[in-house]
Amino acid sequence: MKKQKKKVSPFKKKQAYQRYQRFLGLGKRAALGVFIISFVWISVDGYHRLVSRQLVEEAAHLIKPLSPQVKTDILKEIESKQYFSVEQVDRYFETVRVSSELEEEVELEEGPESSPSGENEEREEDSEE
């Protein structure tokens, strides 16, 4: 058994075709609108970039030529600069390390100092009574 096609009236076909044409017309209008807006946007942006002035006045001090005079006092300071060898630096840090260890030992021998909470002060007062 073959299915029979429903007969569609010519009026309905015409209505469907008109709806399809309206849909295409709306799509064309939307595409044209997007194209026009994009073209105007790009044109205005290009015009502003072309016409806008860059601030050169602020960079005027950079354009000024350098003076060729050499400051001799700076050269003398560089020549009189004292340089250290690696051994001298190592010896210095060894003495600092040893002196800091000695200070820690002295602090441990003296006993605890007063703490921020005041516990040691209370113990001293109790021992005096």
Query: For residues 27 and 51, what is the distance between their CA atoms, to the nearest angstrom?
Result: 36
- Residue 25 to residue 33: CA distance in whole angstroms: 12
CA–CA gap between residue 117 and residue 120 (Å, rounded): 8
Residue 30 token pair: 């939307």
Check residue 12 and give its pLDDT. Answer: 85
**What is the pLDDT, as a whole number, of residue 11?**
80
CA distance 80 to 74: 10
**Model confidence pLDDT, tens digit, residues 22-34:** 888 888 889 999 9
Token pair 């002295």 in the structure block, residue: 106
Predicted confidence at residue 24, as pLDDT, reads 85
- Counting residues of the chain whose pLDDT is more than 70, the rounded percentage is 69
**Residue 115 φ then ψ, to 5°:** -90, 160
Q: What is the pLDDT of residue 33?
A: 94
Asked if residue 118 has pLDDT above 60, the reply is no
The contacts of residue 113 (CB under 8 Å, 6+ apart) are 120
pTM exceeds 0.85 for this model: no
The overall average pLDDT reported for the chain is 76
Quick: pLDDT tens for 33-80.
999 999 999 999 999 988 887 666 666 677 777 776 777 787 888 888
36, 43 Cβ separation under 8 angstroms: no
Question: Phi and psi for 7 in degrees, rounded to 5?
Answer: -85, 130
108 band by pLDDT with thresholds 50, 70 and 90: low
Burial readout 51-84 (b: 16 or more C-beta within 10 A, e: otherwise): eeeeeeeeeeeeeeeeeeeeeeeeeeeeeeeeee
**Structure confidence at residue 32 (pLDDT):** 92
Question: Quick one: pLDDT at residue 57?
Answer: 65
Domain extent listing, the chain: 10-51, 72-111
